[in-house]
Structure 1
Amino acid sequence: MKKSIEAPRHSLFHEGEIALQRSVGMAERIEQIGAKVVRDFMPEQHRDFYARLPFILVATVDDAGDVWPTILTGQPGFIQSPSATSLTVGARPDPADPAAAGAIAGASIGMLGIELHTRRRNRMNGTIAGASGNSLEIEVGHAFGNCPQYIQLRDFAFVDDGDRPAHEPVEEVNDLTEDARAIIAAADTFFVGSYADRAGQREVDVSHRGGKPGFVRVDDDGLLTIPDFSGNFHFNTLGNFLINPRAGLIFIDFETGDILQLAGTAQVITDSPDIIAFEGAERIWTFRPSKIVLRRRASNLRWTMRENAFSAKSIRTGSWDDVASRSVNARNPTQENALRPKNAASALGSAFPEISP
């Protein structure tokens, strides 16, 4: 008889994360590491780090259950930490930003602080304790640091957009336009939001993804396929997908300030010729967008890529052109062992033999 996986009573991780950790033989080790590095408060260095940032990524969930990552910007110091368990962010999503609907008092939020010019990053999730004027008050749920892998070095600068219309037209569509496809095809970086409801508490996450330009494949029907490279083995994002397929992506055009946001559903795939053919991929995941928002020049930040900017980890990864050149059937990945997150039990049971509904 198959054994059902359940998260240990006091585990930091839920059953989706644990299933993926077990699939690589790391569950016990990550449980031990997590107990040391995942905290319910921010250490002093994290508090100082957030205060230096000119931007932060956040993810919120709207009333329809869609998760929307977005970027909030301000001069360094616009984020402050009044205590080890709280952050004050001196910015809120613009009303035209789909993340604005979920940025309300009492809602759960995911946060990622990242310095593209140093490759430092820290993550946090928590609850919006207050939302008024142009600020958000955040109470910490979990806080932890991340490694610098797959981050491309970029320097930031604020731009004078005084001639920008107060509200440029926002493009809201259900299918990818040519402009949206071009932004995705050129990207070496994007951010992904996900969430899971656990024991009456919603935990929202926003995470960085990086690779060579074009590491996100866009099929003719609008399906996105993304390689999953070796990381910290927490599997926060992919583990969430096993529990809840809702996902949100944000692509930032670092040169123009255009912001492309997508909401839809994700699927984790553990057995496919694409995984073997794509250098560095340990699994892949797909994303089917159902809501697409393109906001032109929405960010007042621009970034310049440094010489030798690419992370050594990114350089060692492959590309979809490589996959195609090897005559692998890249357009029709094997689906037999796809992790289809209809519900936690059936998704985990179909993917890993030790799990049953």
Structure 2
Amino acid sequence: MTGSVFHAGERAVQDRAGVPAGWRQRAARAIRPEIPLLLQPFFESLPVLFVGLQDMRGRPWATVCPLPAGAQVTRDRLTARGLPVLAGLLGLDLRPGSKAAVLGLDFATRRRNRVNGTVVSAAEDILSIAVEQCYGNCPQYIRTRDIRPPAAPVPLAEGKPVAIGDARVQRIISQADTFFIATHATDGADVSHRGGAPGVLRQNVDGSLSFPDYAGNRYYNTLGNIEVSGRAGLLIPDFASGEAIFLTGRASVDWSPARAFAFAGAERVVDVQPEEVWYAQHGVPRGAFRLHTG
């Protein structure tokens, strides 16, 4: 990390956003090089993990890793007893040493924590990641849901490439209130949650997608990675049906106040131009997600 937990792209975005001098040193104390003991049961309790990986061409993808047998977590290792959905079809790089990012999210409590690191091994439905960074995020914009293990085994996800104009893609995007974004830079991978009311992810006439960037923890992991690589991958799930859209493409950040004004409360707008899009009927475990009504 060249003397800082924040790489050059993150620092550039922090500077442009007006983050106060001296803030980085204070913020760095919240980013741990291991998973604290009190946090390990949180990851072990989750039925799924959201994962960010690159493919063999260096493009980022966001996907989901179901955990039918749970996860095993230690101070310096997170081992998921399951492999990411569509890992083979998307050509994800699961070789030892490749960068990986994990988001643990409990929709019922709106608690989320991140782990970034490197792949140790990925074989026989086991994905093991060596921990380099661990930190929490605030619960803003998380749509409350109860996540329960499905009553029956989830069918194996079978995806196929589709056009961004495919009717299923259009429907899922237009109804989405939650999605996940994977990005990368030289120093590592990242995966993050984005959410809001349905329509938070907008479709443009040129086939690109846009979404607001709201005030947050000011780490700017996602925007900093886009600053460096100009790329992003999105996982857009339909929690009711289990369908999901996976896409990767070019990404940029628009700092224009006029663009941000179109989204209430936004500070910036992120644009993604899809280059490859996949649809999976069973992209997320069907029946694992239910709206919380209590």
Question: Normalising TM by the smaller chain, what interval?
Answer: over 0.9
Cα deviation, residue 216, structure 1 = 1.1
Partner of 2:201: 216
Aligned to 2:125: 134
Aligned position for 1:307:
293
Q: Which residue of structure 2 lines up, in the alignment, with residue 336 of structure 1?
A: none
The unaligned stretches of length 5 or more in structure 1 are 1-6, 309-357
Contact 1:94–1:100 (Cα < 8 Å) also in 2 = no
Give the match for residue 250 of structure 1: 235
- Report matched runs for 1:64-75 at 5 Å: 64-75=57-68
**Which residue identity lines up with residue 18 of structure 1 in the other structure?**
R
Equivalent residues in 2 for 1:67-86 (5 A)?
Answer: 67-75=60-68, 78-81=70-73, 83-86=74-77
Distance in 1 of aligned mates of 2:272 and 2:176: 16
Kindly indicate whether residue 143 of structure 2 is the aligned counterpart of residue 158 of structure 1: no
Q: Give the distance between the partners of 2:154 and 2:85, measured in 1 at CA.
A: 18
SS at match of 2:183: strand
Does the alignment pair 1:176 with 2:170? Answer: no
Pairing of 1:69-148 with structure 2 (within 5 A): 69-75=62-68, 78-81=70-73, 83-94=74-85, 98-99=89-90, 101-148=92-139
The alpha carbon displacement at 1:105 in A equals: 2.3
Matched to 1:195, the amino acid is: H
Letter in 2 for 1:78: G
Q: Is 1:59–1:193's contact at 8 Å kept on the other side of the alignment?
A: yes
* Structure 1 residue aligned with 2:179: 190
CA contact (8 A) 1:30 1:233 kept: no
Match of 2:34 in 1: 41
Structure 1: distance between partners of 2:259 and 2:154: 46
**Post-superposition offset of 1:193:** 0.1
**Aligned counterpart, 1:61:** 54
CA distance in 1, matches of 2:176, 2:71: 27
Distance apart, 1:78 and its partner CA: 1.1
The 3 A distance-change label for structure 1 pair 85 and 27 is: farther
Measure the CA separation in 2 of the matches of 1:288 and 1:42. Answer: 35
Displacement of 1:162 after TM fit?
Answer: 5.6
Counterpart for residue 16 of structure 1 = 9
Change (3 A) 1:120 1:29: farther
State the alpha-carbon separation in 2 of the partners of residues 261 and 118 from structure 1: 26
> Which has the larger helix fraction?
1
**CA–CA distance in 2 between the matches of 1:214 and 1:33?**
35
Query: Would you say 1:229 and 2:221 are equivalent positions?
Result: no
Does structure 2 retain, via aligned residues, the 8 Å contact 1:61–1:99?
no
Deviation of 1:223 (Å): 0.9
Root mean square deviation of aligned Cα: 2.0
TM-score, scaled to structure 1: 0.77
Q: Is the 8 A contact 1:93 1:100 kept in 2?
A: no
Deviation at 1:298, TM superposition (A): 3.1
- Counterpart of 1:234, as a letter, is Y
Unaligned runs of 5+ in 2: none
Q: Distance in 1 between matches of 2:84 and 2:262?
A: 40
Q: 1:91 to 1:30 in 2, by over 3 A?
A: farther
Deviation at 1:34, TM superposition (A): 2.6
Deviation at 1:32, TM superposition (A): 2.0
Letter of the structure 2 residue corresponding to residue 180 of structure 1: V
Relative distance call for 1:28 and 1:159 in structure 2 (3 A) is same
Q: 1:174 to 1:290 in 2, by over 3 A?
A: farther
Report which of the two structures shows the higher radius of gyration computed on alpha carbons: 1
Q: How far has the Cα of 1:36 moved from its partner?
A: 0.9
Amino acid at match of 1:278: F
Q: CA, structure 1 residues 179+32, in 2 after alignment: closer, same or farther (shift >3 Å)?
A: same
Aligned AA (1:85) = D
Contact 2:231-2:250 at 8 Å conserved across structures: yes
Deviation at 1:307, TM superposition (A): 3.3
How far, CA to CA, are the matches of 1:132 and 1:163 in structure 2? 20
In structure 1, C-alpha distance between the alignment counterparts of 2:184 and 2:87, rounded to whole Å: 22
The CA distance in 2 between the partners of 1:173 and 1:227, in whole Å, is: 25
Percent of residue pairs bearing the same amino acid type: 34
1:195 and 1:155 mapped to 2: Cα distance? 30
Residue pair 1:157, 1:301 contacting (<8 A) in 2 also = no
Q: Retained in 1: the 8 A contact 2:51–2:101?
A: yes
